[in-house]
C-alpha cells in the first residue's frame, strides 16, 4: 500500500521534459530526457535499479548503468533532482517538486523499503560554529509504513 503524499504523478511529454531541461540551461540528450521524465512521473523516490528497470521497459532497450548513474548525479548537481539515503544505504532519486521546499523530510519503511516525501516542515538549520555554512540537510525518518505496521 502506498502512503505517498504526492498527488498522482502527472504524465509529461518528451517535449515538456526537453523544455524543462533547456529552461535549466542544460544540454538535452535522449537519455537525460528519459531519466528526468522517469523521476518526474514516479510516485515515490526510485533507486538506481528501479530507474533502470523503468527506462528499459519504456525504451525497450538496455540502459548502461554507468551512464544512468552519471545522469542521475547530473540531475542532482544541477538541482532538478535530489538524492535520499535511508538507513539501508540505498540511494534513491526524486525530481524536485514545487509542492516541497528544497529540503524536506522523508519516511523510510524499514520493512518494505518504501521511501516517500513527508509534508514540509520548517527544518531549521542547526546552530553552527562561526564560519560554517549549511549546504544541504537531509532528514529521513525510519519506521513502519501503515501497511507493514498492520502486519505486525
The annotated binding site for Zn(2+) is made up of 109, 112, 145, 148
Is 72 in contact with 48 (CB distance < 8 Å)? yes
The residue among 4, 41, 5, 6 whose CA lies nearest residue 20 is 41
User: How many whole angstroms separate alpha carbon 32 and alpha carbon 2?
Assistant: 27
User: How many whole angstroms separate alpha carbon 73 and alpha carbon 131?
Assistant: 28
* Distant-in-sequence, close-in-space partners of 83: CB < 8 Å, separation ≥ 6: 72, 76, 91, 92, 93
Q: Please enumerate, by residue number, every residue annotated as part of a binding site.
A: 100, 109, 112, 145, 148
Helices marked H in the chain — which ranges?
A: 14-23, 30-41, 48-59, 65-77, 146-151
Q: Please enumerate, by residue number, every residue annotated as part of a binding site for Fe cation.
A: 100
Sheet strands side by side (includes 91-95): 46-47, 91-95, 81-85
Amino acid at each position: 500500500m502506498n502512503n505517498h503524499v504526492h498527488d498522482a504523478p502527472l504524465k509529461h511529454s518528451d517535449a515538456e521534459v526537453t523544455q524543462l531541461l533547456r529552461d535549466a540551461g542544460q544540454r538535452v540528450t535522449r537519455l537525460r530526457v528519459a531519466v528526468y521524465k522517469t523521476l518526474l512521473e514516479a510516485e515515490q523516490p526510485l533507486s538506481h535499479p528501479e530507474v533502470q528497470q523503468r527506462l528499459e521497459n519504456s525504451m525497450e532497450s538496455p540502459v548502461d548503468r554507468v551512464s544512468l548513474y552519471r545522469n542521475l548525479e547530473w540531475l542532482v548537481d544541477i538541482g532538478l533532482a535530489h538524492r535520499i539515503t535511508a538507513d539501508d544505504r540505498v540511494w534513491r532519486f526524486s525530481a524536485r517538486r514545487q509542492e516541497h521546499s528544497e529540503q524536506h523530510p522523508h519516511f523510510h519503511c524499514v520493512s518494505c523499503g518504501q521511501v516517500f516525501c513527508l509534508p514540509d516542515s520548517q527544518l531549521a538549520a542547526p546552530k553552527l560554529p562561526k564560519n560554517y555554512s549549511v549546504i544541504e540537510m537531509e532528514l529521513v525518518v525510519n519506521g513502519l509504513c501503515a501497511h507493514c505496521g498492520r502486519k505486525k
